[in-house]
Structure 1
Amino acid sequence: MGDKIDEDKYKGTKPGWENCAKEDFRYLRQKVWEANKGNDEIRELYDDFAVHYKQAALKYGYVGHSNFADVVSDVIIDKTARILDAASGVGMVGEEMKKHGFINIDALDPSKPSIDQSKTLDVYTNFICETLDEHRTQIQDGFYDVVVMSGTLGVPGHATESCLPELIRITKPGGFIILTVTEKGLVVFKDKLDAAIEELTKKGLWEVLETRWIEYMKGEDCEKAMVPIIKVK
């Protein structure tokens, strides 16, 4: 994550709202990783940053959205497949999937300002403002052919392994769940993720077909992400 940001710069202001510099996105990332779990701090950060998130992320070196969409397009041949972009944020992954020809994508994210931003993109069909955890969402059983989730597993205060059974529930038998977990996220999350994957595999609920790696972040925080490709049984 690099050196710590000078907090005084942001006192009484909202970081990155005006200039959208890469330093401001670095501040956001730092605050996310310092945030306490189980409170609204994470959501408030994304709510405040939503309008300028995309511009700041791209300046900082974020490329995970594009590379992840490349993997999804390589795995999912049917461009009419019904897809849920889980933890969709401001819609950067959805935009890239649309470039690959996908035409039936829904967005789910707990940040309403982020959802509102994604509504301006002409990418998504439906919008669901809801968390993903152990609770049952409003989504019907087996509703989606594919569920994708990028940039959330392994990050403090974001979705955890507790949401995986719900992802399975809303995915059709024979459908796919495609995830990302960054190298930094794996440091704190790998053991829990491995245990959850093993448990759900033993229960016969899904099968990990393969695991790929993508470039996730360029620049000073150069980082790769693991991409498990999972088939629901």
Structure 2
Amino acid sequence: MNDLVHSISPATHTQSNIYQLRRQKCVVPSPYQGMMLFIHYNILNIAAAVFLVYYLQTCFSSYSFRAEDIPLAYLFHRTFSLLDILENNMEALKVNDTLFKGSHSTEDLLKYYNNWAQTGKYDEHLSVDNGYKGPHITAQAAAEVFEPNRRPTVQILDVAAGTGKVSQELRQLGFTNIDALDPSGSMLAQARKKNLYNNYICDFLSEYTMPARNAFYDCITTSGGFGLGHIPADALHDLIRLTKKGGYIIIAMREEYIYMSCYNDILEPLMRKLENEQKWQMVQRTVIQEYAFNKTGVLYIFEVS
């Protein structure tokens, strides 16, 4: 993971305070590093606590349960499994925050995403078990607006498709005609291995994206594509351009990103402006608790006019 993190260099190269401190041989650990140190130094304490629970269980087994019901090996396994989940969750959050700082060049972001996909860490980090619910929420939203008997024929474009997490969820709900749009070739290569999409379009979302497919899709989905340095607010025009009249656009994103520099007083005002211009109509705006890494998210559903 350190190799991945160091593969990105900020677009504006200024030495931060922490690097200056390191040159002076005074290293200040990040909150992530501090938590990891705390966990690793306390593993023996946790193991001792588990042993104590087992010992007490054995002593008082005649009262309510038998010692063999929960073997020591199982207790240790569960303890260290929970530690692994916690560490993996924190690593995923760190990677996510690194990517969405907004200070990286497009080339650096692509290198990072390509490496992330190639190592297999992307699917590991952005999983439901690891606290990322965006793809599941997005697919459920699509299921709300399309009846089961219609889903096999619905044409869907998954924007910022990554390795295909949204498509996996959509297919479980009966959707089969799904195209992927993502600028990372390595991400799409992983999705292709799983045969998750009909077409794999390696490109950014812009006014030049797929001009031959204007008003082609019944539904466009994007989960986690909006954030600093990622899909710009004015790309809403292109989402509408590619969607049929009466079709739906579903956007899932972290709520905190709405108030960051690239979207604050821009994204939601533009959404309302497009509604006033009768380009689309907002069907739903829902705040999602624990959307990703215990952070709040927002789900938008629009119907194109």
TM-score class normalised by the smaller sequence: 0.7 to 0.9
Change (3 A) 1:175 1:98: same
- Say yes or no: does 1:117 pair with 2:187: no
Match of 1:45 among 94, 112, 116: 112
Decide whether the 8 Å contact of 2:159 with 2:225 is kept in 1. Answer: no
Distance in 1, Cα, partners of 2:157 & 2:290: 21
Q: Which residue of structure 2 aligns with residue 83 of structure 1?
A: 156
Distance 1:25 1:88 in 2: 18
- Kindly indicate whether residue 299 of structure 2 is the aligned counterpart of residue 227 of structure 1: yes
Unaligned runs of 5+ in 1: 10-19
TM-score of the superposed pair, with normalisation by structure 2: 0.65
Query: Residues 73 and 40 of structure 1: is their aligned pair in 2 closer, same or farther, counting only changes over 3 Å?
Result: same
Which moves more between the two structures, 157-166 or 40-49?
A: 40-49
Tell me the distance in 1 between the aligned counterparts of 2:161 and 2:98: 20
Q: Is the 8 A contact 1:64 1:216 kept in 2?
A: no
The structure whose residues are more often helix, as a share, is 2
1:107 and 2:176 matched: no
Q: Helix, strand or coil for the counterpart of 1:69?
A: helix
SS in structure 2 of the partner of residue 60 of structure 1: coil
Call closer, same or farther: CA 1:217–1:194 in 2, change over 3 Å. Answer: closer
Displacement, 1:177? 0.6
Q: Does 1:61 align with 2:134?
A: no
Task: Answer yes or no: is 1:213 the counterpart of 2:290.
Answer: no
Partner deviation per Cα, 1:88-136 (whole Å, 9 max, x = no partner) = 0111111001000101000000110000011122221011000013x32
Aligned to 1:96: 169
Mapped partners of 1:39, 1:86: distance in 2: 17
Look up the equivalent residue of 2:221 and give its one-letter code. Answer: V
Deviation at 1:216?
Answer: 5.0
CA contact (8 A) 1:67 1:215 kept: no
Determine whether 1:177 maps to 2:249: yes
- Of the structure 1 ranges 182-191 and 89-98, higher mean CA displacement relative to structure 2 is found in 182-191
Q: State the structure with bigger RCO (CA 8 A, min sep 6), 1 or 2.
A: 1
More strand per residue: 1
The superposition leaves residues 8-40 of structure 1 with CA deviations (integer Å, 9 ceiling, x where unpaired) of x9xxxxxxxxxx933432331131133415532
C-alpha separation between the residues in 1 aligned to 2:103 and 2:31?
Answer: 18
Secondary structure at the residue paired with 1:130?
coil
Question: Counterpart of 1:152?
Answer: 225
Runs of 5+ consecutive residues of structure 2 not aligned to the other structure = 1-29, 37-86
Give yes or no for contact 1:86–1:108 (8 Å, CA) kept in 2: yes
8 Å Cα contact 2:254/2:291 also seen in 1: no
Alignment correspondent of 2:93: 26
Superimposed CA distance per residue, residues 118-156 of structure 1 (whole angstroms, 9 cap, x where no aligned partner) = 1122221011000013x3212421110111111021x11
- Residue pair 1:210, 1:230 contacting (<8 A) in 2 also: yes
Evaluate the alpha carbon distance shift between residue 37 and residue 191 of structure 1 in structure 2; reply closer, same or farther with a 3 A threshold.
farther
In the alignment, which residue of structure 1 is the partner of 2:144?
A: 74
Whether contact under 8 Å (2:156, 2:221) holds in the other structure is yes
Identity percentage over the alignment? 27
Larger mean Cα displacement after TM superposition, 75-84 or 29-38: 29-38
**Aligned residue number for residue 50 of structure 2:** none
Q: Please, what TM-score do these two structures have when normalized by structure 1?
A: 0.84
| Cα distance in structure 1, aligned partners of 2:289 and 2:144 | 16
Q: 1:67 corresponds to which letter in structure 2?
A: I
Q: In the alignment, is the contact (CA less than 8 A) between 2:138 and 2:250 conserved in 1?
A: no
Q: Which residue does the alignment assign to 1:13?
A: none
Structure 1 residues 224, 75: CA separation in 2 closer, same or farther (over 3 Å shift)? Answer: farther
Partners of 2:116 and 2:122 within 8 A in 1: yes
1:74 alignment partner AA: E
Shift of 1:190: 4.6
* Structure 2 residue identity aligned to 1:209: V
1:95, 1:137 → 2: CA distance?
24
> C-alpha deviations, 1:147-205, integer Å up to 9, x for none?
1111021x111001111111111101111111112122122135211221122122221
